Structure 1
Amino acid sequence: MSQLRATKPGLLVCTVLCILIFLYLRKPTPEEPAEEPTYPAVVECGFYPDELCSALFEGKGVAPQIAKFCKNPHRSEILPYLRAPGNCSRMLQGLRFITRPLSAEEGNFSLAYIITLPKEMPMFVQLLRAIYVPQNVYCLHVDEKAPKTFKTAVKTLANCFENIFISSKKHKVASAGPLRLQADINCMEDLVHSRFQWSYVINLYGEDFPIKTNKEIIHYLRSKWNNKNITPGVIQPSNAKFKTGQRDPESSPTGNIYVSPNERFKHEPPHNLTIYFGSAYYVLTRKFVHFILTDTRAKDMLRWSRDIRSPEQHYWVTLNRLKDAPGATPDAGWEGAVRAVKWRTEEGKAHDGCKGRYVQDVCVYGLGDLPWIIRSPSLFANQFERSADPLVVTCLERWHRRKVLQQAEVTVEPQWRFPQESHFNVRPNH
């Protein structure tokens, strides 16, 4: 067995050299017309994924060249378990969910999560099992227009857990706008009526992934943010209320850029509220959630928000600046490391550029972004797209799970670990 372990680095090096030699030999001579590149017929591309992922995290030059052929980790690992409902124990073990609190501290501290599901089922499962622990509670918002097979798979998974449920109110999913705001509030109503005594609620979108472990998140909240809400944002600039034309963006200390989507409001804010704008992401105390659901100002603000663009960028931060709101931070600005985002407008300032691609000025992460992500102080990172590059999420997930288990104060069960040997298939050339 020790001999086999000793040969792992050699096998990976041989694979790397073979591919590079193949690529060199495939270069056309000056007299030879260039042809469409063909991918090497290698079945095991990076047979030991932790070694390949480690090279990517360390920014080693050869790693991305090898990894570009390794875009398709086996998809069969996730989906088959969701197509055969009925055996929850088998599914939880096969999908490697952590089924016990990993420390006494974590077991006595419950978080609630609101998750707006992505379009890709494997991405959702990877996100969920990264943040799942049995003492937390999870409310899922599924697009009412999602395919029946997708909704069935989500239900199959949720039915195996007492602490995961689908929102009782269903409607179309939106990445921004009144529907997104209402989806979060719907889940909040369900969460306050659940039997779980959670302390904070965190909202996630399907393209997010955690950087910090559950223990690290708890420590972060218990430090500077003990009994306080995190809603990064600033006062809506006065010139943005009434003028038309381009607005100057506001930048957070960590480089996150936010531009108010509203150049003017249809009506004056209720109760003469001072309107703020900022991130749609938050961490809220349970008492503040109760305030959101019962306070007259919050209800009137919600009605007013239906007439503005991207109200989720105004609603949470505006109400959290009210001095009498539970857990309020009236003097806060962009404080709160909730999300790591690479904005195009901050390239060369807060980051060294997007190694994947920009979509609406937000970086969809590529393999070259991994070193930057794991150095971020933020709790979560956004944005990932598994269909574009599944190896990015797979490497981050393996790195995150290793960190989770290293921090565990209980005996680690074998099924919580990801396999040390896992195939990364070469993308076929069709």
Structure 2
Amino acid sequence: MRLLKLLLKLTVVLGSLWMLYLMSHPKTDLDPTYSLRYSWLEYTDADGGPEKVCNCTAIMQGVREALKQAKLLTITKDFRKNVRIPDEHYINATRDCRKFKLTRKYLTFPLSQEEEDFPLAYSMVVHHKVQNFERLLRAIYAPQNIYCIHVDEQSQASVFSAISAITSCFPNVYMVSQRATGKAKKPPPFNLPILSGNAYIVVSRGYVRSVLEDNRILALMEWAKDTFSPDEFLWATIQRIPGVPGSTWPNRKHDMTDINAIARLVKWQWHEGSQGSLEAVYPECHGKHVRSICVYGAGDLQWLLEHHHLFANKFDTDTDPIALYCLEKYLRQKALAELQP
């Protein structure tokens, strides 16, 4: 009987040690039976800062009292000071990459076989505010994807060092080694007219094949390598090259309102209005405007979630960190919910 009790105790101890091992050593291969153990990836109140006192569920539903509490909180000096993370923090935190990825709860394995078989490539341009960059990277990160990061030439040294430290922790995240030169360019190849457009695009497989194989496009991309913000003209220019799948004539009659496109959701100041207004395309901004674009606040989240867009522009921890915090939790919970059997 005494031996049986000892064996039972040993079994309990070994079971506890095994659970601790699983929590500290995330499994990297796809295993359907492992989906129930993904709880360590969920964002909980313990992961947040001062924002965690807010009721994100109520904020997402547009409950007036919850939105009022969030608004009052974001305007207090102590709250804004405690939420802001200096660039130096990321330089120190990434000295131990494994710990950094674990504590920040990065996804270190594909969430499904479908996602693993369909990797994505991201291009990110960063000027400042490393905190915003790191949170965006965490939100869209998956190990099968590729991330290309361009840090502006005029960025502060601390920004460059912090982003370099973060990217060094991930084998599929790269920093552009050569940045915008400040020199005048020669005319583009093949006399292609340079057109500006959205940096957020959704294209067909044929378009992608043209980008990889069409000599005109390859020459254009080579020409654009050291230009300023090529993402704002490169895709729009390719879209107007005759013969490219999905191309159209360069005429404004072909343009669509961005509210119908799925790539990016943005509130332009001159299209906002009060509820019930026949002239308004969307409701008023609950954050603030920067260059006539709404930087979203917590009060915009309910409207955002009613739409089907892949990205929303813009968020900023300096404007409303609660909006970012609640959206992060929502997106992570939505992603993990798809893993349940």
1:103 partner letter:
S
CA contact (8 A) 1:78 1:95 kept: no
Structure 2: distance between partners of 1:281 and 1:134: 22
Among all aligned residue pairs of Structure 1 and Structure 2, give the percentage whose two residues are the same amino acid.
32
- What SS class does the counterpart of residue 108 from structure 2 fall into? coil
TM superposition shift of 1:330 = 3.2
Q: Which residue of 2 aligns with 1:399?
A: 330
Residue deviations 1:182-225 (CA, integer Å, cap 9, x gap): 9xxxxxxxxxxxxxxxxxxxxxxxxxxxxxxxxxxxxxxxxxxx
Residue deviations 1:304-363 (CA, integer Å, cap 9, x gap): xx8xx98865542232233422x4343864263111000122223220111122222211
Instruction: Confirm whether residue 364 of structure 1 aligns to residue 295 of structure 2.
Output: yes
Pick one of 243, 247, 251 that aligns with 1:324. Answer: 243
- What SS class does the counterpart of residue 174 from structure 2 fall into? strand
Structure 2: distance between partners of 1:159 and 1:275: 35
Pick one of 70, 84, 105 that aligns with 2:73. Answer: 70
Structure 2: distance between partners of 1:113 and 1:45: 31
Equivalent positions of 1:339-358 (< 5 A) are 339-348=264-273, 349-358=280-289
Equivalent positions of 1:110-121 (< 5 A) are 110-121=119-130
Equivalent positions of 1:239-318 (< 5 A) are 278-283=197-202, 286-291=208-213, 294-295=215-216, 299=220, 314-318=233-237
CA contact (8 A) 1:338 1:379 kept: yes
**TM-score normalised per structure 2:** 0.67
TM superposition shift of 1:395 = 1.2
Structure 2: distance between partners of 1:54 and 1:166: 36
CA contact (8 A) 1:271 1:297 kept: no
Inter-CA distance 46–84: structure 2 relative to 1 (3 Å threshold)? closer
1:111 partner letter:
L
Structure 2: distance between partners of 1:401 and 1:91: 18
Equivalent positions of 1:139-158 (< 5 A) are 139-158=148-167
CA contact (8 A) 2:266 2:312 kept: yes
TM superposition shift of 1:97 = 0.4
**TM-score normalised per structure 1:** 0.54
CA contact (8 A) 1:291 1:298 kept: no
CA contact (8 A) 2:194 2:237 kept: yes
Which runs of no fewer than 5 residues in structure 2 stay unpaired?
A: 1-48, 274-279
Structure 1: distance between partners of 2:162 and 2:217: 39
Structure 1: distance between partners of 2:72 and 2:288: 18
- What SS class does the counterpart of residue 290 from structure 1 fall into? helix
Q: Which residue of 2 aligns with 1:382?
A: 313
Inter-CA distance 151–275: structure 2 relative to 1 (3 Å threshold)? closer
Q: Which residue of 1 aligns with 2:139?
A: 130
TM superposition shift of 1:407 = 1.6
1:338 partner letter:
A
TM superposition shift of 1:271 = 5.7
CA contact (8 A) 1:301 1:315 kept: no
Coordinate RMSD, CA, aligned: 3.7
Which runs of no fewer than 5 residues in structure 1 stay unpaired?
A: 1-43, 183-266, 411-430
- What SS class does the counterpart of residue 116 from structure 1 fall into? strand
CA contact (8 A) 1:340 1:382 kept: yes
Residue deviations 1:363-390 (CA, integer Å, cap 9, x gap): 1112211111111211000012211221
Instruction: Confirm whether residue 91 of structure 1 aligns to residue 22 of structure 2.
Output: no
Inter-CA distance 172–399: structure 2 relative to 1 (3 Å threshold)? farther
1:54 partner letter:
T
TM superposition shift of 1:163 = 0.2
TM superposition shift of 1:99 = 0.5
- What SS class does the counterpart of residue 123 from structure 1 fall into? helix
1:60 partner letter:
V
Q: Which residue of 2 aligns with 1:12?
A: none
TM superposition shift of 1:170 = 2.0
TM superposition shift of 1:96 = 1.0
- What SS class does the counterpart of residue 324 from structure 1 fall into? coil
CA contact (8 A) 2:84 2:318 kept: no
1:170 partner letter:
R
- What SS class does the counterpart of residue 122 from structure 2 fall into? strand
Equivalent positions of 1:144-223 (< 5 A) are 144-171=153-180
TM superposition shift of 1:74 = 4.4
TM superposition shift of 1:165 = 0.8
CA contact (8 A) 2:265 2:313 kept: yes
Flag the structure with more relative contact order, 1 or 2, with Cα contacts below 8 A and sequence separation at least 6.
1
Q: Which residue of 1 aligns with 2:261?
A: 336
- What SS class does the counterpart of residue 121 from structure 2 fall into? strand
Q: Which residue of 1 aligns with 2:46?
A: none
TM superposition shift of 1:85 = 3.8
Higher percent of residues as helix: 2
TM superposition shift of 1:151 = 1.6
TM superposition shift of 1:141 = 0.5
- What SS class does the counterpart of residue 115 from structure 1 fall into? strand
